[in-house]
Structure 1
Amino acid sequence: MLALLHTSPVHIPVFDALRDQDHPDLELGHFVRQELLDRARADSPEAVEDDVRALLVDAVAQGAAAVLCTCSTIGGVAEAQAGAVGVPVLRVDRPMAAAAVAIGPRIAVLATSESTLGPTVALVEEEARRAGRPADVRARVVEGAWERFQSGDREGYAASVADAVDAVRDADVVVLAQASMAPAADRAETRLPVLSSPRPGLRAAALQWGDSARGERS
C-alpha cells in the first residue's frame, strides 16, 4: 500500500482519479488529519512533528511501503521522518519544484495559505541548489482564495487562483504551491507553464512504493 497523508478530505477523490488513470494497480490508503494543518498554520509546521511521526508509524503498521504527504505546509516535516519510520516518505510538491527549476530561473510561486509560502519557496531553492541552477523565486498569496476553499466554494477558489496565474508577469514558470490549486492550471489562459503537484507527486511516490515493495519481497 502507498499511504497518502492529507490535511483535507477533498484530496481523496483527486488522487484516486489520478491512480485510476495512471497507476491502476496501485493500492492507496488515505489518512486525513485536518487538525495538523490547523495547528501548523496557528503555530508552525514544526509544532506538529510528533503527531506527524505518530501518524506515519500508524500508516506503516497498517501496511504502507511508502508514504506521500499531500500537504505542502507540513510536507517537509513528514519527509524528514523517513529515517524514523523506515519507509520512503515523499512530499507531493518536490517533483514539481524540480521541474520548475529545470524550466527557468524566474519562478513565480502562488499559494492560497500564508503557511505554505515559506516551505514551498525553501523547497524550490533547495532543488535549485541540487541542480546547480539559479532561482529567482517570487511568491505571493492569492488573497481571499483560502476563505472560498474553506467555505466549500471550489469553483470560486479555482477561478480566483486562475486569475492570479494570468496576472503573473516576467516569469519563466508558475508554481501552484498547494495540491488543492491544481484545477486552476487548466483554467488559466496564460502562455506560461503552470505546474501543479498531484500528478508528478503521485508518479514519484508510485515509483518509490514499487522499489520499496520489491525490496520487501527480495
Structure 2
Amino acid sequence: MLALLHTSPVHVPVFDALRDRDHPGVTLRHLVREDLLARAVAEGPDAVAPEVARLIAGAVADGAGAVLCTCSTIGAVAEAGAGDHGIPVLRVDRPMAAAAVAAGGPIVVVAALRDTLEPTVALIRAEAAARNRSGPAPRTLLVAGAWDRFRAGDRDGYLDLVAAAVDTVSDAGVIVLAQASMADAADRTSTAVPVLSSPRTGLRAAVVARAPGR
C-alpha cells in the first residue's frame, strides 16, 4: 500500500487516474489535510513538521510501504523525517526537479502560490549540485490571481491562468510547474519549451520505492 499526503482533495482523482493507467493493482491511501498548507504558509513549513511526522507514523502502522507527499510547500519537511519511519518518504516534485536539471539550459519555475517557489528552487539547486551541474539559478514566475481561482474551486480558470503565464516564457530550456495541481495546465499551453509537472513521475518513484512486502 502506498500512502499519499495531500493538502487539497483535488489531488485524489488525479493520482487515482495515474494509478489506474500506470500502476494497476497498487493500493493508494489518501490522507487529505488542507490545514497543513494553510499553517505552513502562515507560520513556515517547520511548524507542521510534528503533525506530518504523526501522519506518516500512522500510515506506517496501517501498512504503508512508502509515503508520497504531493505538496511542494511541505515536501521537504516530510522528506526530512524519512529516516525516523523505516519506509521511504518521498516528495512528489523531486523526480521532476531531477529531469529539469538533466534537460540542461535555463530553468523557469512557475507557481501559483508564492510559498512554493523557494522550496522548489532549493530542490532544483540541490539536484544540480548532486549532479555537479552548474548554470544560472532557476528563475521564478508567480501567476497572479491563479491561487485565488484555485481556492474558489474554479479549476478551469486556474489552469487557464497558469497556461497563459507559461506561454509568456520563451527564454528557457525547460519550464517547471511547481505545484502538482498545475499539471493539467501543460495540455493547455502552446509553448515550444518543454513543460514538466510532478504527479506522474512522483507517483512512479514512490511505487518503485515501496518497502518489500507492503
The TM-score, its normalising length taken from structure 2, stands at: 0.98
1:47: how far off? 0.9
Structure 1 residues not aligned, in runs of 5+: none
Q: Does residue 19 in structure 1 map to residue 19 in structure 2?
A: yes
Instruction: Name the counterpart of 2:212.
Output: 213
Instruction: Name the counterpart of 1:50.
Output: 50
In the alignment, the residues of structure 1 paired with residue 166 and residue 191 of structure 2 have an alpha-carbon distance, to the nearest angstrom, of 7
**In 2, are the aligned partners of 1:145 and 1:160 still within 8 Å (CA)?**
yes
**In 1, are the aligned partners of 2:170 and 2:193 still within 8 Å (CA)?**
no
Instruction: Name the counterpart of 2:119.
Output: 119
Amino acid at match of 1:91: R
Residue 170 of structure 1: SS of its match in structure 2? coil
- CA-based RMSD: 0.9
Instruction: Name the counterpart of 2:130.
Output: 130
Structure 2 residues not aligned, in runs of 5+: none
1:105: how far off? 3.2
**In 1, are the aligned partners of 2:108 and 2:176 still within 8 Å (CA)?**
yes
Instruction: Name the counterpart of 1:185.
Output: 186
**In 2, are the aligned partners of 1:105 and 1:133 still within 8 Å (CA)?**
no
Residue 182 of structure 1: SS of its match in structure 2? helix
Q: Which structure 2 residues correspond to residues 55-134 of structure 1 after superposition, within 5 A?
A: 55-134=55-134
1:140: how far off? 2.0
1:135: how far off? 3.7
Deviations 1:190-212 (A, max 9, x none): 00100000000000000001xx1
Instruction: Name the counterpart of 2:38.
Output: 38
Q: Does residue 147 in structure 1 map to residue 148 in structure 2?
A: yes
Distance 1:135 1:45, change over 3 A: farther
Instruction: Name the counterpart of 2:158.
Output: 157
Count of residues in correspondence between the two structures: 213
The TM-score, its normalising length taken from structure 1, stands at: 0.96
Instruction: Name the counterpart of 1:4.
Output: 4
Deviations 1:158-205 (A, max 9, x none): 000000100012110000000000011111100010000000000000
Residue 159 of structure 1: SS of its match in structure 2? helix
In the alignment, the residues of structure 2 paired with residue 135 and residue 56 of structure 1 have an alpha-carbon distance, to the nearest angstrom, of 36
Amino acid at match of 1:164: A
Runs of 4 or more, structure 1, over 2 Å off, are: none
Q: Does residue 196 in structure 1 map to residue 197 in structure 2?
A: yes
Deviations 1:138-164 (A, max 9, x none): 012101000000000000000000001
